[in-house]
Amino acid sequence: MKALTWHGTHDVRVDNVPDPTIQEPRDAIIKVTATAICGSDLHLYNGLMAGMQPGDVLGHEFMGEVVETGSAITNLKKGDRVVVPFTISCGHCFFCDRRLYSLCEESNPNADQAAEVMGHSPAALFGYSHLLGGMPGGQAEYVRVPYADVGPLKIESELPDEKLLFLSDIYPTGYMAAENAHITPGDTVAIWGAGPVGQFTAHSAWMRGAGRVIMIDRREERLELARRKSRVETLNFEQEDPYQRLMEMTRGYGPDSCIDAVGAEAHGAGDPEYQQRDADSSEPNRPGVLNEMIRACRKAGTLSLPGVYTDQVDGVLISGLMNKSLSVHSGQTHMQGYMPSLFETIEQGQIDPSFIVTHRYGLSKAADAYAQFNAKTDGCIKVVMTP
Ligand code: NAD
Ligand code: ZN
Ligand code: ZN
């Protein structure tokens, strides 16, 4: 089959690889009908993540049709339409029992090695580093889905793929980011990053009762989309200083909650213009967003971090974090707990998640699609590929 494979920084290729096969009784094989590129894929594309190997099949946002099931699978059958969550969870360990699915202790065969390298033992994710299980991803014609009795959400609706695909990651991720921001009714919420995750975070902040939502980015077309679709106020950090402006907007208190929907790229890694700036900087690991959030957040407020960090970040303003009584709530999304109820919001017409799709490619053009999504030019906000 054809699949998108990683070969190094900014080097991804569509290769012929062996078709996946059932390996465990709880597996299913899915024929992929739609797959998206995520900001989390960019950390791999930009070489920020340890444990990648040439030939790894990428992709963790995908949906499709069941073509084969293992002997223990009774919830799915051939022909079923499914959206698959990006996290792989066994459903029965200490953490899965507590619905903390992205902390599953069973799904990652390389968890011990990861603990040595990364200081923690993550669950397995599709299409990610070998430290996170090295599971082939869904930017491919077919994909093996382990624990298919726990992960995939069966869809019995005629809604098109583009309205459902983002249940695989970024809609639940935006929702959990807003939940983790501990919003009380009427609160002011500031979100750094108006990418796909930031867009769903803004929508979800209103769902969680925010009174005011402010978004910070430098990409005008992303800020414009957030204004149009989520009725937020926006702030371009290349035109005004976020800290100063946020203080003016909140009578000097600062936002009640601050959300980092940027992550590892927050210090410019991956963005060619910022790479040059970083090369000229005496602070190569500049924790821009984290410190801006710590400084700006109202005392006793909450920082929510959906943005993914792949390594330590030096120079974090820990004194501000501690002395301002700030809370931090973070994590990879506990997907399986959110997918059914967020599906309902789509089916009932409360949201059409396809509003973020700006670019579409066939899988054969996946290398172009990655370059486009990483560059964030030509109005590109979210890319969907069809095998
Ligand atoms: P993206 O790269 O498309 O968007 C990031 C946005 O941040 C861009 O619009 C960029 O212009 C903006 N940005 C860069 N530096 C900034 C700064 N200093 N201040 C404000 N904005 C800045 O990525 P995405 O797909 O929206 O994903 C965002 C983050 O969420 C990534 O780190 C990704 O790995 C993470 N993520 C986490 C989970 C999870 O489970 N927690 C799931 C999916 C994605
Ligand atoms: Zn993702
Ligand atoms: Zn588990």
How much is the pLDDT for 19? 98
How high does pLDDT run on average in the chain?
94
Same domain, 131 and 180: no
Using DSSP's 3-state secondary structure scheme, residue 296 falls into: helix
How much is the pLDDT for 271? 57
- At 345, is the pLDDT very low, low, confident or very high (cuts 50, 70, 90)? very high
The yes-or-no verdict on residue 44 having pLDDT over 80 is yes
> Atom 14 of ligand 1 has which residue's CA nearest to it?
266
- At 33, is the pLDDT very low, low, confident or very high (cuts 50, 70, 90)? very high
Instruction: Report the C-alpha gap between 172 and 179 in whole angstroms.
Output: 10
Percent of the chain having pLDDT more than 70?
94
Same domain, 28 and 120: yes
243 Cα to the center of ligand 3, angstroms? 40
How much is the pLDDT for 275? 54
Are 50 and 122 spatial neighbours (Cβ–Cβ below 8 Å)?
A: no
Give the range of the structural domain holding residue 126, as residue numbers without chain letter: 2-169+333-386
Same domain, 187 and 92: no
Using DSSP's 3-state secondary structure scheme, residue 135 falls into: strand
23 Cα to the center of ligand 2, angstroms? 25
Q: Which atom of ligand 1 is nearest to the CA of 309?
A: 32
158 Cα to the center of ligand 2, angstroms? 24
Question: Residue 68 maps to which CATH number?
Answer: 3.90.180.10
Instruction: Report the C-alpha gap between 8 and 191 in whole angstroms.
Output: 31
Q: Is the CB of 329 under 6 A from ligand 1?
A: no
Greater pLDDT, 299 or 265: 299
Question: Residue 243 maps to which CATH number?
Answer: 3.40.50.720
Q: Is the CB of 307 under 6 A from ligand 1?
A: yes
Same domain, 265 and 125: no
How much is the pLDDT for 266? 66
Instruction: Report the C-alpha gap between 215 and 232 in whole angstroms.
Output: 7
278 Cα to the center of ligand 1, angstroms? 18
How much is the pLDDT for 179? 98
Beta strand 11-16 with 2-8: parallel, antiparallel or unpaired? Answer: antiparallel
Q: Is the CB of 176 under 6 A from ligand 1?
A: no
Total number of domains in the chain: 2
ipTM field: 0.99
What's the helix, strand, coil split of the chain in %, to 5? 35, 20, 45
Q: Is the CB of 219 under 6 A from ligand 1?
A: yes
Same domain, 256 and 108: no
Same domain, 322 and 337: no
User: Distance between the two ends of the chain, CA-based, in angstroms?
Assistant: 10
109 Cα to the center of ligand 3, angstroms? 12
Q: Is the CB of 237 under 6 A from ligand 1?
A: yes
Same domain, 339 and 268: no
- At 273, is the pLDDT very low, low, confident or very high (cuts 50, 70, 90)? low
Instruction: Report the C-alpha gap between 107 and 190 in whole angstroms.
Output: 34
Same domain, 178 and 162: no
Same domain, 159 and 175: no
The yes-or-no verdict on residue 265 having pLDDT over 90 is no
Instruction: Report the C-alpha gap between 45 and 296 in whole angstroms.
Output: 31
- At 287, is the pLDDT very low, low, confident or very high (cuts 50, 70, 90)? low
How much is the pLDDT for 311? 79
Same domain, 155 and 179: no
Domain final residue pick, 313, 330, 347:
330
Chain segment 180-197, per-residue pLDDT in tens: 999 999 999 999 999 999
Chain segment 233-243, per-residue pLDDT in tens: 999 998 999 99
Q: What average pLDDT score do residues 207-217 get?
A: 97
